[in-house]
Amino acid sequence: MKLLKKLIAALALLPALALAAGGEFPLDHAPERSDLSSMQHGAKLFVNYCLNCHSASSMRYNRLKDIGLTEEQIKNNLLFTSDKVGDLMKSAMSQRDGAQWFGAAPPDLSVIARAKASGAGTGSDWIYTYLRTYYKDETRPTGWNNLVYPNVAMPHALWELQGVRTAKFVDEKDPHDPSKTVHKFAGFEQVKPGALSTLEYDTAVANLVSYMNWMAEPVQTKRRQLGVWVLLFLGVFLVIVWRLNAAYWKDVK
């Protein structure tokens, strides 16, 4: 039993140790953009750049009314030719084709913003950092690599917006073992400019992440509002019960 407890404790420390040793790329904090205009822009980016390969099969187009879009805006700006407003957000690419072209079928993105949460950061932090750390790598089949997800199979879908960058690495001595060297990231070099500046691209990615975070749980705003009312009710009810208890035991004492 003691051995089992020690093993569990050691496994629990592995993520932190890996991060401290440089085994994982540190995540940037995703800006919190919960206004409707940000999510609407994020929805547009998601449909134009993500939905070509990935599905969001738990989301229907008409649910986008919750972020302020009208049915007419959805039809004119976000629907493909054969899709209808009530359809699920599915990709035209089949799982079979995705596995053949990329080596693995592109995952469904319905709840990816929650699935990627870990001790290193939230799912939003992971996606935000991931989409901003692509770099050109001719050794990869797609020509792209990523710092958050090394040797990723997915190409850089937003490269036209961000431009083409290469990553610079340096070899340094391992602080834990001087006899070994560590391949350490030393920055990006812009090779070809994109349609957006760095600030504009980061803002666009933040909007996309904001939409994906909403998509993972569309009722989260109502849930939080309801939670506040429930806590207020319980607080008032606690006072009533406290005074009722005092009145009930007054004569007994």
Render pLDDT for 114-132 as a digit per residue (tens, 0 to 9): 999 999 999 999 999 999 9
Query: Could you tell me if 116 and 216 are in contact, meaning their C-beta atoms sit under 8 angstroms apart?
Result: no
Q: pLDDT under 70 in the chain at which residues?
A: 1-23, 81, 253
Task: State the pLDDT at residue 151.
Answer: 93
Report H helices in the chain.
Answer: 2-20, 36-45, 71-77, 95-102, 112-115, 123-130, 159-162, 198-216, 220-250
| End-to-end Cα, the chain, rounded Å | 51
> How many beta carbons lie within 10 A of that of residue 11, not counting itself?
9
The region that residue 53 occupies, defined by phi over 0 for left and psi between -120 and 50 for alpha, beta otherwise, is alpha
Task: State the pLDDT at residue 223.
Answer: 85
Task: State the pLDDT at residue 253.
Answer: 61
Task: State the pLDDT at residue 49.
Answer: 95
Question: Which two tokens mark 122?
Answer: 């939230």
Query: Could you tell me if 42 and 211 are in contact, meaning their C-beta atoms sit under 8 angstroms apart?
Result: yes
Fold designation for 25-218:
Cytochrome Bc1 Complex; Chain D, domain 2 (1.10.760)
Query: Could you tell me if 90 and 61 are in contact, meaning their C-beta atoms sit under 8 angstroms apart?
Result: no
Task: State the pLDDT at residue 2.
Answer: 45
* Cβ neighbourhood burial of 97 (10 Å; 0-12, 13-18, 19+): middle
Question: Which two tokens mark 141?
Answer: 């089949």
> How many beta carbons lie within 10 A of that of residue 122, not counting itself?
18
User: Residues 32-54: pLDDT tens digits?
Assistant: 888 899 999 999 999 999 998 99
Q: What is the dihedral of CA 152, 53, 106, 12, to 10 degrees?
A: 70
Task: State the pLDDT at residue 182.
Answer: 81
The residue extents of the domains of the chain are 25-218
Query: Could you tell me if 156 and 144 are in contact, meaning their C-beta atoms sit under 8 angstroms apart?
Result: yes
